[in-house]
Amino acid sequence: DADVTQTPRNRITKTGKRIMLECSQTKGHDRMYWYRQDPGLGLRLIYYSFDVKDINKGEISDGYSVSRQAQAKFSLSLESAIPNQTALYFCATSDFGVGGQETQYFGPGTRLLVL
Amino acid sequence: GNSVTQMEGPVTLSEEAFLTINCTYTATGYPSLFWYVQYPGEGLQLLLKATKADDKGSNKGFEATYRKETTSFHLEKGSVQVSDSAVYFCALSRRDTGNQFYFGTGTSLTVIP
């Protein structure tokens, strides 16, 4: 079973609709992240959470909100979807290895199309 | 600020060819450097990493050496296979700024038989 799962894997929605993308992890990590991937732009950080009570904006948080319901769950919401939010969305978790260096682990992604 | 610059793709190679994907970074302090790989339809997977200058990360025949003097972390493989076809991302993180990750734009590699 995958350690980081995302639902749905694909979603088509219309402009103005509210949608939620969900992420669950079984790795027991405190830190979770949401990124979006666009062609030619790589990954950009939307929001991140260092624990259930600590949520922070990333590089491109406008138009998005998040909820950390539990250590294992981190949801991303688009309050009123617009076409330029069409992208591939990734959830990630992280832990600290030897020497305190963080490594990130990614889910399989959610492909979102906003019409 | 912190940033990562990768060579633009796409890169197309024949099987058993030598691969180099260039990556340079901008960061103050002492970042850790990573290569992630994304196979078609999947999320990113950690390929290798290096946490200090002159460290060499290696995995699955891929190598990259952390060069502080040239601020580079180029990915190399001596003999690529068709199964190496994927998108490769260089990334950095800095422990002294909360470990936020910065990713390059990705380089698409296609290996043909």
More confident residue, A98 or B27: B27
Whether residue B42 and residue A105 make contact (CB cut-off 8 A), yes or no, is no
In tens, the pLDDT along A46-90 reads 999 999 999 999 989 999 999 999 999 999 999 999 999 999 999
Q: What single DSSP character describes residue B100?
A: -
Q: Which helix or strand (DSSP H or E) is residue B91 part of? A: strand B86-93
For A21-59, letters b (16+ CB in 10 Å) and e give bbbbbeeebebbbbbbbeeeebbbbbbbbbeeeebeebe
For residues B50 and B73, the answer to whether their CB atoms sit within 8 Å is yes
What pLDDT, in 10s, does the model give residues B12-50?
999 999 999 999 999 887 889 999 999 988 889 999 999
CA of A115 vs chain B CAs: smallest distance (Å) = 22
pLDDT of residue B70 exceeding 80: yes
Yes or no, beta carbons of B46 and A103 under 8 Å apart:
yes
Of A42, A94, A103, the CB nearest to B105: A42
